Amino acid sequence: MSSGSEARRGRPRSAGADERIIRVAIELLLARGYGGLSPDEVAERAGVAKTTLYRRWPSKGHLALAVVARLQEYDEIPDTGDIRRDLTVYLGEIAVALNRMRLAGAAEGSRSPGTVAELVAAAARDDELDRLRRELYERRNALAIALIERAVRRGQLRPDLDPGVLLEQLAGALYYRVLITGAPVDEEYAARLVASALDGATTAE
């Protein structure tokens, strides 16, 4: 895409700086939550000037989003052919990530959604950040939707199924618990959820 014919000029951005900043940011975010992610401190710990940080991520929200993106970097979903199992595994991974965020910087027993909500809130104040955040989720969801579509093509799922809606039912339920009701999410719940969504609610006659 931007493969580089255009000869770069000027001092190139320090490659190490990006990585050091992100690492420190991950550490801080997981240890203290969104509120504890101070750009000042990140810069200092990364041995970098604040300007350098802000040149890359123009606000604390952007930085936090980059952290989340990094923590979610898994490029493909295993497709074993057993859609029920694959979806359960996928949702389980999301649950793990959500739980990690949930624990970040939270008081001991707190069931607080913490970082996830803060990030959505931060995005709510900055359209550009919001766009980036949505793109992140779209990218991730595209993988899951493709998984579902393959199952449809294999005849395992009904042909008139809307894969997006199914995914929203599944992922939505996880986020609903984390963000809204505070109920726990784990693999067992993921399995129940998949069963419920796939099998439907109406009486099987």
Residues that bind DNA (CB under 7 A): 7-14, 17, 35, 37-40, 44, 47-52, 54-56, 58-61
* Partner whose binding site includes residue 27, from DNA, a second copy, none (CB under 5 to 8 Å by kind): none
Q: Which of 65, 76, 56 is nearest to 26 (CA)?
A: 65
CA-to-CA separations, 181 to 134, 141, 188, 191, in angstroms, rounded: 23, 23, 18, 19
Cβ neighbour number for residue 34 with a 10 Å cutoff: 22
Residue 101 C-beta: closest distance to DNA, Å: 17
CA 117 from centre of chain: 12
- Stretch near a second copy under the rule CB under 8 A, chosen from 12-20, 64-72, 90-98, 154-162: 154-162
CA-to-CA separations, 65 to 59, 149, 192, in angstroms, rounded: 10, 29, 30
* Partner whose binding site includes residue 192, from a second copy, DNA, none (CB under 5 to 8 Å by kind): a second copy
Which residue, 9 or 108, has its beta carbon nearer to DNA? 9
Residue ranges in 164-183 that form contacts with a second copy under rule CB under 8 A: 165-166, 168-177, 179-182
Phi-psi region of 35 (alpha: psi -120 to 50; beta: other; left: phi over 0): alpha
Candidate residues 26, 69, 89, 120; the one interacting with a second copy per rule CB under 8 A: 120
Q: Could you identify the residue written with the tokens 């000042």?
A: 40
> By CB under 8 A, how many residues form the interface with a second copy?
58
> How many Å apart are CA 191 and CA 174, to the nearest integer?
12
Residue 65 C-beta: closest distance to DNA, Å: 11
Packed helices 83-103 and 187-199: angle between N→C axes, nearest 10 degrees: 140
Residues in contact with a second copy by CB under 8 A are 33-35, 106-107, 110-115, 117-118, 120-121, 123-125, 127, 130, 134, 137-138, 141, 155-159, 161-162, 165-166, 168-177, 179-182, 192-193, 196-204
